[in-house]
Amino acid sequence: MFDPRLIAQLVVIGFTFFMLLNSAAVLVLMERKVAAFIQQRLGPYRVGPWGTMQPLADIIKLMFKEELRPRTADTFLFYLAPILCASAAFAAFAVVPFGADTTFFGLLDEPVKLMVADVNVALLVIFAITSMGVYGIVLAGWASNSKYSLLGGLRSSAQMISYELSYGLSLAAVIMLAGSLSLREVVDAQSGYWFGVIPRWYVFLQPLGFLIFMTAGVAETNRAPFDFPEAEQELVAGYHTEYSSMTFALFFMAEYINMVTVSAVSVNLFLGGWHGPFLPAWLGWIWFLVKVFALLFFYIWMRWTLPRYRYDHLMEFGWKWLLPAATLNLLVTAGVVIWMGW
């Protein structure tokens, strides 16, 4: 009945869920602090030492706010939308590995994998679940029955559909190099060093792919400079204009968790996952965390540095530059893979 492997797996699942929830809270604080430093302010500093309790205060505030719903809104879809968004954000992380296999200090006979589900088509699953998340945003826009929400929802889905293509094509190049759709195997293919110094990370083989992936990732998560769905000067708050209290918090959380997922996936695909120098293999998850947070910092840095694009520029950039570049990258990679006989 009490199979130790089952318990270990449940612990891993619970831990992943807990960490994702907390990473959203940490990111909120990080975003406010980094933004403050970029703008030469102090940021939150009153609640707890160095403002570290600020996310907790935010959550309590959000919980006690009044829950509002427009009278003409479609009740069922109005409440379904944030749930869809948040659950898609959580579910996508399920196939992302975050460390080498572990026996929990010899407690188990056989090692467990540090991931919720080891699927052999992990990358496609991430794609599938992200495309379900789009519905959350579209439905939020439609069900609110408000012009700003609708415009925000439409923009967001148009943007996500356009950038998903380049996103997928830049992934495909890495898949060809690694010869596997499983994230675990892609990470394992990146262990070791070239000439004893340069880590075998795919970012060195696929610099263009990495750039395309990161750019498309920013657009996918609706972050600045591509934050059109919530362009506050034009659309009030975009698709979540009519949401308040915890329903708003769900959208907010989903956005941050999506950022974490995109960063984690790009760490696994391009930056060698949990492989890194100095640390023993069982501490690999520290490298993973460091890399993910470096990318997240980069996201925040970008948001407070670059102004928002214009909408037609965004579409033009996506279709006329990013997509051809990604296609070219894929073709060249395919040619090299065949030529070198990998």
Partner 1 sequence: MDALFFWVFAVVTIVASLLVVGQRNPMYSVLLLIVSFVGLTGLYVLLNAPFMAAVQIIVYAGAIMVLFLFVVMLLNVRAEDASEEARTRLGIGPGPRRFGAVLAAVLAVEFIWALRRIAVAPFASPGGEAAERTASVQEIGLRLFREYAFAFEATSVLILVAMVGAVIIARKDPHRPSGDL
Query: Does 154 participate in binding partner 1 (rule CB under 8 A)?
Result: yes
What's the CA gap between 73 and 142, in Å, rounded?
A: 9
Nearest to 239 by CA among 322, 156, 309: 156
Exposed, middle or buried by CB within 10 Å (0-12, 13-18, 19+), for 19?
Answer: middle
What's the CA gap between 152 and 147, in Å, rounded?
A: 8
Contact pattern for partner 1 over residues 75 through 104, marking x by CB under 8 A: --x---------------------------
What's the CA gap between 335 and 317, in Å, rounded?
A: 26
Selected from 157, 191, 245, 327, the binder of partner 1 by CB under 8 A is 157
Please give the residues from 129 up to 148 whose contact with partner 1 meets the rule CB under 8 A: 129, 131-132, 134-135, 138-139, 142
Query: Does 337 participate in binding partner 1 (rule CB under 8 A)?
Result: no
Q: Give the nearest distance from C-beta 142 to partner 1 in angstroms.
A: 5
**Lookup: tokens for 303:** 């948001």
b/e 126-163 (16+ beta carbons within 10 angstroms → b): bbebbeebbbbbbbbbbbbebebbbbbbbbbbbbbebb
Nearer to partner 1, 34 or 89 (CB): 89
- Judging by DSSP bridges, how do beta strands 193-194 and 198-199 pair with one another? antiparallel
Q: Give the nearest distance from C-beta 134 to partner 1 in angstroms.
A: 6
Query: Does 121 participate in binding partner 1 (rule CB under 8 A)?
Result: yes
Helix (H) or strand (E) holding 204: helix 202-205
Nearer to partner 1, 19 or 77 (CB): 77
Nearer to partner 1, 23 or 170 (CB): 170
Nearer to partner 1, 135 or 282 (CB): 135
Q: Could you tell me which stretch among 43-51, 120-128, 216-224, 317-325 binds partner 1 (CB under 8 A)?
A: 120-128
Nearer to partner 1, 13 or 77 (CB): 77
**Lookup: tokens for 181:** 């759709």
Q: Give the nearest distance from C-beta 124 to partner 1 in angstroms.
A: 4
Q: CB of 130 within 8 A of CB of 93?
A: no
How many residues make contact with partner 1 (CB under 8 A)?
Answer: 22
Q: CB of 178 within 8 A of CB of 342?
A: no
CA dihedral (71, 77, 82, 85) positive or negative = negative
Cis peptide before 280 (omega within 30 of 0): no
Nearer to partner 1, 138 or 322 (CB): 138
Query: Does 163 participate in binding partner 1 (rule CB under 8 A)?
Result: no
Nearer to partner 1, 37 or 76 (CB): 76
Q: CB of 31 within 8 A of CB of 51?
A: no
Q: Could you tell me which stretch among 38-46, 121-129, 194-202, 298-306 binds partner 1 (CB under 8 A)?
A: 121-129
Nearer to partner 1, 36 or 119 (CB): 119
Selected from 26, 57, 108, 124, the binder of partner 1 by CB under 8 A is 124
Query: Does 161 participate in binding partner 1 (rule CB under 8 A)?
Result: yes
Binding site for partner 1 (CB under 8 A): 74, 77, 119-121, 124-125, 127-129, 131-132, 134-135, 138-139, 142, 150, 154, 157, 161, 181
